[in-house]
Each structure stands twice: as C-alpha cells, then as structure tokens.
Amino acid sequence: MPVRLPFRPRRDAYPPDLWTKCPGCAEMLFNKQLDKTLRVCPHCSHHFRISAKARIEQLVDPGSFVERDADLTPVDALGFVDLKTYPDRLMAAQLATGLRDAAVWGLAAMAGKPISMCVMDFGFIGGSMGSVVGEKVARAGEAALAERIPLLIVSSSGGARMQEGTYSLMQLVKTMSVVERVKAARVPFISVMTDPTTGGVFASFAVVGDVNLAEPNALIRFAGDRVSAGTIGEELPPGYQRAEFWFSHGFVDRIVPRARLRDEIISLLGFLIAPLNGHSEPPTGPTSRSRSFLNALTGARSGDGNGDSRASETGQTRGEATNG
C-alpha cells in the first residue's frame, strides 16, 4: 500500500513532464507550449535538442517519410567495456529512445519533391557515429545517387563512437566516399548542423554540403578547447565553436531558426533541382546557383542570421558532454 504523506509537495517542485527549465534564460517553460514553438524558447530563442522523429515530423510533408533499414543493429565487435559493457549501453539507449541506433534514414517528400534523408538523434549515446550510423548515412547517399534525388542530412552528434574504436573511425571514410560521389554526380546535398555537430561528424560529411545550414547558437567544432588550442599552439577566439562564428568565417552558409528551416530547405531545393523541361533551365550548375541565391538572401535579410545574442552568451557551456 502506498505511503500517504501528510503534507503537499513543495510548490517549486515542477513535475518534470510538464515543465522544462530553459538553459538559455532560466525561464520555466510549459512543455505543451514548447512543443507548439518546435521546442524553441519563446523568450530567448534557445533551440532545445530534439529527437530524430520530431525533426523528421517538423521537416517533411506529413505522412511522406518511409523509413529504411530500421532494424539495422550495432554489434559489439571489440567486446568493449568501460563503466558498463557496450551491449548494456546499447540496450539502455534503445529502451530510452525506441531506436536501434543514433540515426534514422529514409525517403520522404518536401513540398512534393522526393528527397533521401538521414537524421541523427543525440539522445542515443550522444548521437555518436558507429558502424550503423555511418552505414545509414552512406545508404541515404546511395539512394540519392540511384534515384537522383536530393540528399538531406541533419546532424546532431558528439562525434565518433568510442565503443566501436577503429570501426567508428572508418565511418568517416565510408560516408565521405559516398558524399563525394553524390557531389560528383551533381546530385544536391543539403547539410543541416544542429546542436551539437562535433568530432567525426564535423570532420566528415556535416560541413561539405552544397549548402551548409545551421541552427542558431549550435555547438559546431572538431575537438574541445584544450585539444584544439594544444594542436595549433595558440588560444582560440571566444565563441569559435558556435554556428555564428562558422557563419562569419564561411563554413556555414546560413543560420536558420527552426521555425523557418522547412521553408528554407524547400526554397533551396527549388534552386538546386533542375526543372524537368529544358526551357527554363539556368545556364550554371547547381552549386553556383545556390551560392548566388544565398548571396541574394543574405543581402535581403542581412542581420537576421546572427541568432540571439542572449542565447549566444549564456549557451557557451552547453553541450560539453560529447563523445569525441
């Protein structure tokens, strides 16, 4: 029989499933309200991390996503044990997320146009890239090549999966070899970097899209401060690991708030996909067309790609728990 306490719970004890505290502005946010704003804080525009499922729902035409290779499951090839065994970690992550591994790929449509897409889920062992994640990225690329439809990859990853050792590092080569073939075949590739995009994912496919988009204030970097500073032998400028810094240095083409992400990708696809009838086909290739389109957009909306300064200042310590 449950014990009944003679007093009411404290008023500041918010039920965790009802409220979320914003790490950007410390405001308590009602979860239902937060879902309506696509999990972006209405006060400081902090972009919360979202699951692969939620991301797909936000981006593609309703009901159009058909998942492929949902049952692709990682194996413990090395018999890896840290504080727990790798199979135990996998099982815990699978129970928590309902996924087999940290990426979901499939075919979908955006404004009626078919795409091949792969979305990473940070909730599954930090979105780390092991053999299954690499394989799904590669298969999404292969499908884009075979069907000649655009490739969309949404990254959210701490990097390589330590528990798969060298197998994990091999995914950098595997994913990049497919992406290079996609690009050589002039099939459009849009990369979306969300918080965080670091380590081996940053070092492979995430920053080589024909168009690289990022969410405001997303953590984007290869390694942590100490490793980066130690490697190049000098102090790094403040904020170097945020989307806005990469944007100002040309690595990121656009910083797009989540509410505009679907529309922005759709308009990019309109520029990147050559029309089927030859009459209105522009003379230049997909990449140069996208660049001039981006320049036009940047000119028209100058200043709106910088995100929210408050979120930038307060968000510096978020997302440190990455996997390498």
In the complex, the residues that contact Zn ion under the rule CB under 5 A are: 22, 24-25, 41, 43-44, 46
Distance CA 28, CA 20 (A): 6
CB 36 to Zn ion: min, Å: 15
CB 314 to Zn ion: min, Å: 8
Identity of the residue, 25 or 169, whose beta carbon is nearer to Zn ion in the bound complex: 25
Identity of the residue, 25 or 109, whose beta carbon is nearer to Zn ion in the bound complex: 25
CB 24 to Zn ion: min, Å: 4
Identity of the residue, 42 or 165, whose beta carbon is nearer to Zn ion in the bound complex: 42
CB 25 to Zn ion: min, Å: 3
Identity of the residue, 99 or 255, whose beta carbon is nearer to Zn ion in the bound complex: 255
Cβ-contact 196, 219 below 8 angstroms: yes
Identity of the residue, 134 or 196, whose beta carbon is nearer to Zn ion in the bound complex: 196
CA distances in angstroms from 229 to 232, 234, 240, 258, 313, listed in the order given: 6, 5, 11, 31, 21
Distance CA 108, CA 152 (A): 10
CB 194 to Zn ion: min, Å: 17
